[in-house]
């Protein structure tokens, strides 16, 4: 399991996030960006944070430390915003903490150069996990200590929100573990991925090199070890479903990589001009988060 930290102080909400994460201090003297299980899309978004974040770490990509952070809702009792009070009440107990990187800045390709090999590995990971939230609208990349850091993977693995809840002991038949068809209408144009321009003069070659390096490593043993890090009361879908889904996408022909390989610089430039910054995640994700928040208030 992830390391357990107990929150000792609620410092401030981070209002730029659609799910209202908060900055909290812990009993380990660390400062943590906390994603609350009562916010946004609920516990399965925390599952995605852990599975994709720790998969990225296992593949050698830089991700801030993730911990389980125990939150007492009384820590926010002086917060004047009723929405945040409701959020804390709905999130008592285990939540997800990400190491706060003080002084970090949002990735700007005009100010920070990314190695094409690293960029290709990040793009490959996002294509594998269907991470729809690393575009020009919302890079979810930080620069800190002279390095690029990957954050905020709660929108990845989006098909798992449609998986039925099952007891952990129940093992589905093998056919049930095959990757389901992906509804491409829910995805943005992959040309909008913020790191595509960093792939260099031969983006297709860089992506195919990343694919050759990483795909064989995403096997059942690795995925099971990552899923095992998820807090038990967040994981209501069968863990083997994640294993089957991810290994199924990493194996075989991997046609999902072709839209990335086929992207052209002109299309990328147009996507950047049209998208701009600060518009937040895709509309379908904002709507889902809003629905979850309304449910918490009624509860």
Residue holding tokens 């002279």?
Answer: 146
Contact 217, 247 (CB under 8 A): no
**CA gyration radius, the chain:** 19
Sort strands 66-71 and 141-144 into parallel, antiparallel or unpaired: unpaired
Name the β-bridge partners of 23.
Answer: 12, 33
Torsional sign, CA 227, 228, 229, 230: positive
Contact 147, 62 (CB under 8 A): yes
pLDDT tens-digit profile, the chain (299 residues): 899 999 999 999 887 666 789 999 999 999 999 999 998 778 999 999 999 999 999 999 999 999 999 999 888 887 788 888 889 999 999 999 999 999 999 999 889 999 999 999 999 999 999 998 898 888 999 999 999 999 999 999 989 999 998 664 545 544 455 555 555 444 556 778 899 989 988 999 999 999 999 999 999 999 999 999 999 999 999 999 999 999 999 998 898 888 888 866 444 454 455 444 444 444 434 443 444 444 444 44
Q: Does the domain made of 105-281 have the CATH classification 1.10.1070?
A: yes
Q: Which of 126, 136, 105 is nearest to 281 (CA)?
A: 136
Cα–Cα dist 201/156, whole Å: 28
Domain residue spans in the chain? 4-102, 105-281
């Amino acid at each position: 399991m992830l390391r357990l930290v107990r929150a000792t102080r609620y410092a401030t909400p981070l209002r730029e996030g659609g799910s209202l994460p908060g900055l909290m201090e812990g009993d380990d003297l660390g400062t943590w960006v906390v994603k609350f299980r009562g916010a946004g899309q609920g516990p399965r978004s925390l599952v995605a944070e852990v599975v994709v974040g720790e998969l990225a770490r296992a593949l050698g990509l830089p991700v801030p430390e993730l911990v389980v952070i125990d939150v007492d809702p009384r820590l926010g009792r002086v917060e004047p915003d009723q929405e945040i009070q409701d959020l804390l009440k709905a999130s008592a107990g285990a939540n997800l903490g990400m190491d706060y990187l003080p002084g970090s800045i949002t990735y700007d390709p005009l100010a920070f150069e990314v190695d094409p090999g690293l960029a290709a590995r990040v793009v490959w990971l996002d294509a594998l996990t269907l991470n729809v939230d690393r575009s020009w609208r919302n890079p979810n990349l930080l620069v800190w200590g002279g390095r690029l850091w990957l954050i905020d993977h709660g929108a990845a693995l989006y098909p798992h929100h449609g998986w039925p809840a099952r007891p952990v002991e129940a093992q589905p038949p093998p056919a049930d573990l095959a990757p389901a068809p992906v509804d491409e209408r829910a995805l943005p144009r992959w040309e909008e991925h913020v790191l595509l321009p960093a792939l260099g003069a031969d983006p297709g070659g860089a992506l195919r090199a990343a694919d050759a390096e990483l795909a064989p490593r995403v096997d059942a043993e690795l995925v099971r070890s990552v899923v095992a890090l998820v807090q038990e009361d967040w994981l209501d879908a069968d863990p083997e479903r994640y294993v089957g889904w991810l290994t199924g996408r990493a194996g075989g022909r991997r046609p999902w990589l072709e839209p990335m390989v086929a992207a052209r610089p002109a299309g990328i430039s147009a996507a950047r001009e049209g998208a701009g910054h600060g518009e937040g995640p895709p509309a379908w994700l904002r709507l889902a988060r809003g629905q979850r928040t309304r449910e918490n208030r009624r509860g």
